[in-house]
Structure 1
Amino acid sequence: MKMVSLAGLAGALLMSVAPVATMAATPADTLVVAQNIDDIVSIDPAEAYEFSSGEYVTQTYDRLVQYEAEDTKKLVGGLAASWAADDAAKSITFTLRDGVKFASGNPLTGADVVYSFKRVVALNKAPAFILTQLGWTKDNVEQMVTASGNKVTVKYAGDFSSNFVLNVLAARPGSVVDSVTVKANEQNGDFGNAYLKGKSAGTGPFSLRAYRKAEILSLAANPSYFRSAPALKNVVIRHVAEAATQQLLLESGDVDMAKNLTPDQIASLQAKGGFKLENYPQAAVHFLSFNQKTPELTNPAVWEAARYLVNYQGMTSSFLKGQMRTHQAFWPAGFPGALEDTPYSYDPAKAKKILADAKVQLPIKVTLDVINSAPFTDMAQSLQQSFGEAGIQFEILPGTGSQVITKYRARTHKAMLLYWGPDFMDPHSNAKAFAFNEDNADDKYQSTTTWRNAWAPPKELNEATKAALAEPDPAKRNTIYLDLQKKVQASSPIVIMFQATSRVAMAPAVSGYVNGATSDFVFYRLVKKN
């Protein structure tokens, strides 16, 4: 790897913002962040489906309704000033805010909302299913979403309540784009997809100044943002994969924030003092999964044994300390309906007996795909060692985040170490991802862990997932989800191991940073440097 000096790297950090006289400190009006952002596949809000791209979309776009920096647990009006739901008619009518403009200066209109939802459905990229589950198709979306003046009416088809629909519309693909600008930059009927991979066209608190894949995201403040202009004029997110380099840059004053430090580095900063160290509970669950296209991994005994071959405590008490907690259910702890039981512990002797009783032929040799950065490579090495004791031998295949995720979506992996965060704040988001798959065909792409691992769950799980979605009573609904989690926890080719905690180190001058439970709830709008 080519090495560069800290001064040279700091210069790269700021080259898209403004020249500065010294590299010893960042500009007073600019927040510079060191972060691993190589998971980004696309920054088009109709295609963005990764953690880092989720953060970006929140800074640059708005939805009709959304969760805001001031209270990330409360759903409020975004581009909509108000709305009225008609459950009987399965429709919601939104009244748009007055005076909202896109970064281009174009005024927000109902036509922008209709176009934005239409392009998500028409493009049919990874997150499109979030909107199409409302019964929208390429053929009917313009009848399901209509506009008249400052009113937008959203219709839906399905046995679920309007509250569920609002949570769907608050998700990332519900972002509204500037239809005038995007249409002007369409290429061969792509709905501006190529254009929005390198430009922004939103109403958000920031607009995109520059994006270079696995290098930099540079954002400029929107001074006319309808919730008030951001406190800082610029945010620069620099891709720094190495945690040690992130620490050095923070200590030297060349960045204001480091987001991917190891526990040892956090401890080092604590010992030195002079930095803010914040913990943010996250909704992401981390799991090991087995592709059911791989014959050696289809025996349920292998799935059961795997649950006893993860050294949960060994990892969370060492290199994952402060970063993750043991969690073995698909809905994150801290949210209504979450199963917090952790019945499995590291027991290689029990795992060996399970495999022997089932007459599983050993050794099993499979590849394990993993993101090539901490702590994922450390987790993979731990799994390689512990599974090897029972005759399951992993060959670790490291790759960038986008490489690993793209492979997972194509179902070409064998074993995969990855993470999953809810697409929207409703248990159905994860239930559909981990317990539902009614069409396992290769040409029926679904953004779920079940489909990506070619696993067709038993019919009872599919039916229970649909029943929970339709249940109007919150208590009864949570009961169904608890039962679903127990069943997936007990028998599934997806071994859920941990729930993440985000630990962010920042310079003492930084305040106002908001990091909610999902990547969509990261906000820079209120950040100040005192």
Structure 2
Amino acid sequence: MESKYLLKFLFIFLILFSSNSYSKTPKDQLIIGMSMNNIFTIDPAAMASNDTVSIISNLYDSLIELDATDRTKILPAIAKSWDISEDSSKITFHLRDDVKFNSGNPLTAEDVVWSIERLLKLNLSQSTFWKTYGFSAKNISELVKSIDNFTIEITLPQATDPKLVMYSIGALGSMSILDKNEILKHEQDNDLGNKWLTTNAAGSGAYYLTKWEAKNMLIMARNEHYWKGTPKMKRIIMRHMTESQSLRLMMEKGDIDIASGMSVPDIKALSNNPNITIESVQRGTLYYVALSNKNKYFANPKVREAIRYLIDYQGINATIMPGFGILHQRPIQKGMPATLPDQGYTLNVEKAKKLLSEAGYPDGFDTTIRVLSDTPFIDIATTIQATLVQAGIKAKVIAGTGNQIYGAMRERNFDIVVGRGGGGVEPHPHANLRSMVYNPDNSDEAKLTPYIGWRSSFYDDKLNKMIETALIERNETKQTQLYKDIQNYYDELFPAVITISQMIDSVAVQKDILNYKSHPSATTRYYLVEKKR
């Protein structure tokens, strides 16, 4: 019966979008225009983009959630309460006993434990954060256990800040709770349902998947029996749209309700439309310039210091980054009590020339800049190319896809990369430092590919120990000071990863959309969204 109504709806939907009608979208449908270029799978264990996280967060429930306004505020979800042991080594979650998956199967502690074990056994992208805490496929069954049908206990394998672990569970989407019994019906060659979940879902979320065509359209229908209450929107429809101008025109006509991924000029144009609001959310992700210490030039700290003065931070953030980012020069995201003010670095070609001369390169040298071919990355790279050459550094820009650029970086086979990353999903200083700075083993064999510090071959034993000490400090005042000390020491090292901006995500929203709140951790949920018409 559902398929009959779905076909009827799609027929009406196509008529609406192929006409020149200026009528608004259906009152009970939320239509979102977005790029689906980075959505390759909807298996929570394998997702690799913020766009996928926003889908997963509506198909699945998590143990806990982070508040969209204050990410340090942890909200109950499937776990109605939790306890942290006095020695900070164990976290016990007490689950709701009234939740069912969309299949009708009851959600129990067994499903939660299996979902976590599955992450480590598959060893796909979303296992990374568990592994950084010391979990592995070998120890996970001993460390994560169900005490009874609605209680689970997680024993932390190494000393860490349990608050950070809680933030990770609430923020990353990888703690999605899967329907074990339903998924195992579709298992192939012991893949724990991975192939099936590439294009299917088995969760208890506010919505369930009805259609997904890669780089075309994704449709979710509401879960009428959702434990938080019936969602307001009958369907969520995501359309693959990569042209910024097309997104803008469809927003202006009322053909879509929400648009993301637009260029700065189109965002500015829509901001003047009385029927549209621009919602900008600051994320903890950082834009950076990474220098490989395997390169003989950048292994020299004076050259790294010179590069620091060959970046026009203010110009880049004023002309390229509006709508994408704001000026930031520290390795820890803005908004943390531990984050120090920016150092105030500016473009200073004469100072850079002097440093290059002291390093033995008065005439500069040749190098390469690898960068994504997308905006704003390519624009940042060409601007830096233009300022580097003023000091004699001739940089060839190599643009490409994510696999081409970040793939080379993960292999430590690059000179300079202009990129975006550096963690920051969790509202904790270590979230950035772990991704951006920390490098406990600088050998090629270590393959610490999630760490930008390792990718850049930048290693300092004292720095690593300072980060490890700060993480386990229980006194918040002392911990904050330790993180400030880390930032000052890191700056003195003339690091190989130079922060230039902090990410801003701008989304255009029709003014009659109520209760939409873009989440800083990308876990944007739609179950309360409605239209005032």
Structure 1 unaligned regions, length at least 5:
1-13
Is 1:512 paired with 2:511? no
Is the alpha carbon distance of 1:488 and 1:240 closer, same or farther for their aligned partners in structure 2, counting shifts above 3 Å? farther
Instruction: Give me the whole-angstrom Cα distance separating, in 1, the residues matched to 2:355 and 2:106.
Output: 64
Find the aligned partners of 1:274 and 1:125 in 2 and give their Cα distance: 42
Counterpart position of 2:167: 167
Q: Secondary structure at the residue paired with 1:88? A: coil
CA distance in 2, matches of 1:442, 1:47: 25
Equivalent-residue separation in structure 1 for 2:235 and 2:54 (angstroms): 15
How many aligned residue pairs are there? Answer: 516
Q: Post-superposition, which runs of at least 4 consecutive aligned residues in structure 1 deviate over 6 A?
A: none
Match of 1:108 in 2: 107
Contact 1:291 1:452 in 2 (8 A): no
How far off is 1:493 after superposition? 1.1
Q: 1:269 corresponds to which residue?
A: 270
Match of 1:487 among 486, 489, 496: 489
The answer as to 2:53 corresponding to 1:54 is: yes
Following superposition, the deviation at residue 302 of structure 1 comes to: 2.7
Change beyond 3 A, Cα 1:524–1:401: farther
In structure 2, C-alpha distance between the alignment counterparts of 1:359 and 1:71, rounded to whole Å: 49
Cα distance change of structure 1 residues 255 and 477 upon mapping to structure 2, 3 Å threshold: same
1:152 positional shift: 1.0
Aligned-pair distance for 1:48? Answer: 2.0
The alpha carbon displacement at 1:144 in A equals 0.8
Q: What is the identity percentage for the equivalent residue pairs of Structure 1 and Structure 2?
A: 28
Q: How does 1:178-197 map to 2 (within 5 A)?
A: 178-197=179-198
Aligned to 2:12: 19
CA distance in 1 between counterparts of 2:457 and 2:508 reads: 39
Match of 1:359 in 2: 360
Offset of residue 344 of structure 1: 0.8
CA distance in 1 between counterparts of 2:333 and 2:138 reads 36
Q: Which amino acid aligns with 2:288?
A: F
- The DSSP-based 3-state class of the residue aligned with 1:84 is strand
* Conserved? CA contact 1:38–1:400, under 8 Å: no
Q: How far apart are the structure 1 equivalents of 2:11 and 2:67?
A: 29
Q: 1:15 to 1:326 in 2, by over 3 A?
A: farther
Aligned-partner Cα distance in 1 for 2:407–2:178: 25
Aligned match of 1:149 = 149
Which residue matches 1:233?
A: 234
CA distance in 1: counterparts of 2:216 and 2:323, whole angstroms? 27
Q: Secondary structure at the match of 1:339?
A: coil
CA shift, 1:41, in A, is 4.9
CA gap 1:409/1:389 in 2 versus in 1, 3 angstroms:
same
Contact 1:16 1:218 in 2 (8 A): no
Deviation at 1:17, TM superposition (A): 5.1
Partner of 2:4: none
Q: Is the 2:289–2:498 contact (alpha carbons within 8 Å) kept by the matching residues of 1? A: yes
Match of 1:432 in 2: 434
Give the Cα separation in 1 of the matches to 2:301 and 2:9. 52
Seen in structure 2, the aligned counterparts of structure 1 residues 512 and 365 have a Cα distance that, compared at 3 Å, is farther
**Unmatched tracts of structure 2, length 5 or more:** 1-6
**Alpha carbons 1:46, 1:127 under 8 Å: kept:** yes
| Match runs of 1:104-503 below 5 Å | 104-147=103-146, 148-170=148-170, 171-360=172-361, 363-401=364-402, 404-420=405-421, 421-451=423-453, 453-490=455-492, 491-503=494-506
Do 2:59 and 2:206's aligned partners in 1 also have CA atoms closer than 8 Å?
Answer: yes
- Aligned AA for 1:393? K
Change (3 A) 1:413 1:219: farther
CA distance in 1, matches of 2:461, 2:351: 29
Residue pair 2:283, 2:425 contacting (<8 A) in 1 also: no
